[in-house]
Amino acid sequence: MSTQGPLDFEIQVEQVGDRCKVVVSESPVGDPPPVLVELPFTRQAVEQIRGVLDLTGAQAAMSPVEREAAARRFGEQLFQAIFNASSDINSAYRSSLERAGTRGLFIKFSLEKAGDLRDVPWELLRDPQRRSYLCLSRQTAVIRYPSQPYIRPPVTVIGPLRVLVMISSPKNLPPIDVEGEWRRLQTATAALQRAGRIVLEKLEDARLNTLQRQLRGQEYHIFHYIGHGDFDERTQKGVLMLEDRHGEEYAEPITGDSLADELSQESTLSLVILNSCKSAQSVQGDPFSGVASSVVERGFPAVVAMQFPISDEAAQAFSEEFYRAVAEGFRLGEAVSEARRAIANTLQNSTEWATPVLYARTPGEPLFELRRREGTQPPRRTPWRVIAGAVAALVALIALGWGANAIFNPPTPTPTPTPTPVPAVADLMIDSIRTSPLEPAPGRPFIVSVRIRNNGDGPSGAFNVAWLPSLSTEPLVQRVERPIPPGATGGVTFTHTYGWWSNYSTAVTLDVDNEVAEANAAGSGERNNFAPHQIVMSQDSFEIDFSQLPGGGVVDRTRALNGDEFAAWGFQIEPVPGPQDTACVNAHPRLEVDANRVSLTVGLPSTPGVCASVPLALIFDRAVGALEVTFVAERAGVHRLIMFSDSAGTQETGQVEVSLSLGQQAVLRVPEVNRALIRRVAFVTDGAPVRIDRFAIWPR
């Protein structure tokens, strides 16, 4: 295991119709351009390879050698589709491997937009050039990387790792050998238990309220579930089949949210293991994926789940090596890879090493800081023969006249050196996070104020503070230049603008570049440097006057637009020439700037005044509830707004119009009856130039 953490190679997979968009969003050598690729396999092929791995359907009759060959073929096809999607992506991958060296390159898949591609067994990825499966090497661990800004800090473990085990076998489901499963788990960890590195404790039953009481009374670090998973067709969520709360031991489906709510009450829990035994019924997709994502969303750093039923031999091999690697301080991704290889080494030609799935936000960091409790080892007793021999030697020395002087006139003892004083260090913490205004409106700047306190006994020095406005944006960074003295406070502010209505999950992190050495009496160090913060948007209108672009750019000159300049604010602009406007097919939107106004209009690149009367459409990424347009009539006549419930403009839902004289200012507003139906609005002037000064939209 390298002393330095691994490097990250993060891939976002998006389903676009029948194709796949591959986006390398992070790599040590820079991010290559996204690529849209045709997948080399069909949905049926994915179902067939899943049948190979979970031993169902026609694939159940295949021999182990045939199953391994099928897995190898599929894994190389999958590798070809992703890592050879373009020469740029392949070059970035190979160069990243070389850059990482012995540190390792963790392959992290973000699958939030993957659609049906989430069911692909990504753990089968096989590099034909290196002739190896990526996830069987701790140098190239494969991780499913959910988007979640809040992560629990690492836990300091004094003494052994404590594992709470729940084994669920409801009466009305295929039986699970509860005692056998417990015995196998005990056997797998026997050496670690004898060494005092791990303690296993089994719940007396598999009810949610029993779990609640147990977590209330004892500290645990890992929760290990063995039992059935299922898929709830009504809620479209994965569930665990626990025992009913009335004690009759019949199945009670528990959602991932319910389990996560209970587990999140225990602040020391950092890892959840979901193990479906081999008697579990086959269900749609992977039921544990929904449970796992629910747990990760509560801030748990990691979940290990089984995407297929797993045999007793494979489960025992996995548990033994995984727990051993975790107890030895291996990083999570490395520990899972070690456990996968244990399955491969134990069961030749088996593909069960692909069954475990690692969902993690911090796969390259140790989950626990392991420390031995002082005084836990009993004092070693000196054997009586050694004592007797020492006494005899002492008597002999005295009799020879050598030892008496040394014994009765001992030398002056060497004075104990004065211990070196512990240097004073800082302990930064987030004291408060405030938003002004409290509920910002879209398109309007607001301020986030972060108050920072130094609870240590030394000054902080300079450091950077990062605020993550949302999961889809880059963090904003401010620097604290002036050191914060012990017991004092400091602060930073961030200015931001959101482009749509929502409740945004944000987060603040202090000292993002680890410039400040920190500690405190409780040993928390940098663990209090992170805090989530929820921002709730107001329901006020989103007003656009075209004097400013997303990102803060000021419009101070006339300019042509592509139409997507306002995509960050959730809408696009599109000229709509009619059949009679054959000379205007190349018309484009423009921002016209004069002494008193900035207006949205239409024109040709070479002759802006031509095609100025072409209708202009506003297309919204999401439906809005109401809209109004402010403009000045450039010519007397009728001006209309035409509303559509679809972005393509094929489903008209109504019109509003007004008759104006030259130079008259007007506001056209969509009536309230059309709320929640607007995805597109066309502004039509019947031959007059189109010039919109402002528009405002309201949420659904």
Name the DSSP class of 545. Answer: -
Cβ atoms within 10 A of the Cβ of 694, count? Answer: 18
Residue-wise DSSP of 500-523? S--EEEEEEEE-TT--S-B--TTS
Q: Which residue, chain included where needed, has tokens 């009913």?
A: 244
- Which strands make up the sheet holding 446-454, listed edge to edge? 428-436, 446-454, 489-496
Query: CA-CA distance, 160 to 450, in Å (whole number)?
Result: 38
pLDDT at 414: 55
CA distance 53 to 71: 8
pLDDT the model gives residue 160: 86
Q: Are 8 and 107 in contact (CB under 8 A)?
A: no
pTM, to two decimals: 0.54
Strands 598-603, 588-593: pairing is antiparallel
**What type of residue sits at position 380?**
R
CA distance 302 to 151: 9
* pLDDT over 70 percentage in the chain: 84
Between 64-78, 331-345, 606-620, the lowest mean confidence (pLDDT) is in: 606-620
What percentage of residues in the chain have a pLDDT greater than 90?
20
Mean pLDDT of the chain: 81
Measured between its terminal Cα atoms, the distance across the chain in Å is: 53
The CA distance from 430 to 496, in Å, is: 20
User: Range with the lowest mean pLDDT among 106-115, 305-314, 476-485?
Assistant: 305-314
- Give the pLDDT confidence of 200-245 residue by residue, as tens digits: 999 999 999 999 999 888 889 999 999 888 777 677 677 888 988 7
Q: Contact, 622 vs 500, CB < 8 A?
A: yes
* Residue 248 banded pLDDT, cuts 50, 70, 90: low
- Residue 663 φ/ψ region, left for φ over 0, alpha for ψ in the -120 to 50 degree band, beta for the rest: left
What's the order of all strands across the beta sheet hosting 302-306? 35-38, 19-26, 7-16, 105-110, 142-144, 356-360, 302-306, 271-276, 222-227, 161-167, 198-202
Give the pairing type, strands 142-144 and 271-276: unpaired
pLDDT at 142 > cutoff 90: yes
Residues of the chain by 3-state class (helix, strand, coil), percent to 5: 25, 30, 40
For the chain, the maximum distance between any two Cα atoms, rounded to a whole number of angstroms, is: 130
Q: Burial code of 562-588, b = ≥16 C-beta within 10 A, e = fewer?
A: ebebbebbbbbbbbbbeeeeeebeebb
295 vs 356, higher pLDDT: 356
Pick the closest to residue 22 from 84, 101, 72, 70 (CA basis): 84
